[in-house]
Structure 1
Amino acid sequence: MARIDLNDITAFLAVARAGSFTKAAAKLGVSQSALSQTIRNLEARLGLRLLTRTTRNVSPTEAGERLLDSVGPRLEEVEAELAALSALRDKPAGTVRIASGEHAADLILWPVIHKLLPHYPDITVEIIVDNGLTDIVAERLDAGVRLGEQVAKDMVAVRIGPDLRMAVIGAPSYFEGRKRPQTPQDLTNHNCINLRLPTAGGLYAWEFEKNGRELRVRVEGQLVFNSAAMNVQAALAGDGLAFVPEDRVREHIDAGRLIRVLGDWCPPFAGFHLYYPSRRQPAPAFAVLVDALRYRGP
């Protein structure tokens, strides 16, 4: 059998994981035609069909599944070890790719990275803002950011922020002529701004807790957004009540631009954590970033 180029295996893994030549080509930075030719050459050398192609998608054959399951993890280990060799350089170098929701990216990742990178000119950081629960292993990312309760047990989790609280907020103009809610049930009498979840696509049910009693309230109103930032803007404009993380609106509350209600129904919960696979051998650039992000208290 002719010697197989590891670059060809990498190309196959990219297509198999993406389920698309177009997406894989974009990720690898090559043309779709060149990538198709690479896969055809690999199949010819192996004498096996690795991918089943249809007009809508691409999926691995039995042989392709075996190659994906057996060689894929081993190649990732080799790449991680090669990246770790940069420890022999005078300064850490390389690219670190992190998936994060918009909230954590804005308020936690960006302030730290902004201060860190001038000291490490050979490190590149790519932040993929995705409010869904991205599979960092499937997407071959270095790490992700989630709330503590959302991190899978088989991942290494590093706390990067304080506990969080949610806040029900509205503008002073909204409350003119309206009674402020005293319990979560009172929200049925208010125009509430809904948030559509990026994962299941449904509307977020507002979560409350007091004295061990938990409530989930499905609110109604004239506005629905899929961005918490837009919920805040609408609340500031007096268009209704919003339910958002407290740290997003603390300045507005302190300045009197927003009024907080139902504070006694919003206890703290575990904040954001950086997480990554436990089998990962941290490269120096990644280790530097993790240490900079690690939460060390107020």
Structure 2
Amino acid sequence: MASENYNELAAFVMVARERSFTRAAAKLAVSQSALSQTVRGLEERLGLRLLTRTTRSVAPTEAGRRLYDTLAPRFEEIEQELASLSLLRDKPSGTVRINAGEHPAISILQPALCRLLPDNPDIRVEIIVDYGLTDIVAEGYDAGVRMGNQVAKDMIAVRIGPDLRMAIVGAPDYFARHAVPRTPQDLTAHNCIGIRLPTYGGIPPWSLDKDGHEIKVRTEGQLVFNNISLRLHSALDGLGLAYLPEDLVLEHVAAGRLVRVMEDWCEPFPGYHLYYPSRRHTSSAFALLVDTLRYRG
């Protein structure tokens, strides 16, 4: 088979995997029109329609699905073997794609990259912040970050951070207008800043622990966000109480910009782990990143 035919097959696999010519073209670093022409050429060569195209979506036909199921694992094996060859290089190299929540991306991954990347110019890292419990294998990630108790048993898990604690905080201006809560039940009378997570399908309750006793409190308030920064800044602005990772608020508490309450209801819990498939062939870049992230506390 001519080399251009392999290029056509690789292009088809990427489009079928991404279900989008736009995303596939971006990953292949080609124009969308060129990619569409390449796949159309494959279809004409085979005499079969492989993809059903609409203005909003792309999906494999029955023939396309059969071809994808045959080709995708083989292209993955080739990619993994090529990545493993980089171990033979003197300098670690390669691209690592990681799926993580916003907090571990900020508090753990970013500091690690500051230590790793300056001395390793051939390593490229792509971090996608995502609150969903994404299937990293299906979505083509090399690894993901989750709490230790959320990692599937068939994955390799590497601890990358210490135990965590949450903190309930509000601005002094807020407490000048509202009584300080002392029990979980008191929170129901407060303007609490919520977070909407796709994995919960809504706004999750605040999970509080004291002496091994857990209580989930359904809080309400005027504000709901899907990220940490806006919740923190809203608390600093006196707009309500926020329930945030402790490490993000300690500086503000020490400076008097925030007041911490109900600390006795926020017990430590297992921290973040990097996880990845046990069958994965690690590149030199991935192996070095894992070693940099490994928690040694």
TM-score normalized with structure 2 length: 0.92
Distance 2:164 2:294 in 1: 16
Instruction: Report 1:65-80 matches (<5 A).
Output: 65-80=65-80
1:175 aligned partner, one-letter code: F
Instruction: Report 1:235-246 matches (<5 A).
Output: 235-246=235-246
Distance 1:42 1:138 in 2: 24
**Partner of residue 262, structure 1:** 262
Deviations 1:150-183 (A, max 9, x none): 2222222111111111111112222125322121
How far the C-alpha of 1:200 sits from its partner, in A, is 4.8
Deviations 1:46-81 (A, max 9, x none): 333222223332111222222222321221121111
Instruction: Report 1:4-23 matches (<5 A).
Output: 5-23=5-23
Deviates more, 1:77-86 or 1:122-131: 122-131
How far the C-alpha of 1:113 sits from its partner, in A, is 0.9
**Partner of residue 249, structure 2:** 249
Instruction: Report 1:1-298 matches (<5 A).
Output: 5-297=5-297
1:73 aligned partner, one-letter code: P
Deviations 1:132-158 (A, max 9, x none): 333322332222222222222222211
Note the aligned Cα RMSD (angstroms).
2.0
Deviations 1:264-287 (A, max 9, x none): 222222211111222110001110
2:292 aligned partner, one-letter code: A
5+ long unaligned stretches in structure 2? none
- Asked whether the equivalents of residues 96 and 285 of structure 1 are also in contact (C-alpha less than 8 Å), the reply is yes
Distance 1:262 1:10 in 2: 56
How far the C-alpha of 1:99 sits from its partner, in A, is 2.0
SS at match of 2:191: coil
How far the C-alpha of 1:102 sits from its partner, in A, is 1.9
Change (3 A) 1:17 1:200: farther
Deviates more, 1:228-237 or 1:1-10: 1-10
2:116 aligned partner, one-letter code: L
Deviations 1:228-278 (A, max 9, x none): 111111111222110111111121223332222222222222211111222
2:293 aligned partner, one-letter code: L
- Asked whether the equivalents of residues 166 and 243 of structure 1 are also in contact (C-alpha less than 8 Å), the reply is yes
SS at match of 2:276: strand
2:178 aligned partner, one-letter code: R
Distance 1:44 1:153 in 2: 44
Distance 2:291 2:5 in 1: 36
- Asked whether the equivalents of residues 145 and 273 of structure 1 are also in contact (C-alpha less than 8 Å), the reply is yes
Distance 1:71 1:152 in 2: 27
Distance 2:221 2:156 in 1: 40
Distance 1:288 1:37 in 2: 39
- Asked whether the equivalents of residues 142 and 276 of structure 1 are also in contact (C-alpha less than 8 Å), the reply is yes
- Asked whether the equivalents of residues 198 and 226 of structure 1 are also in contact (C-alpha less than 8 Å), the reply is no
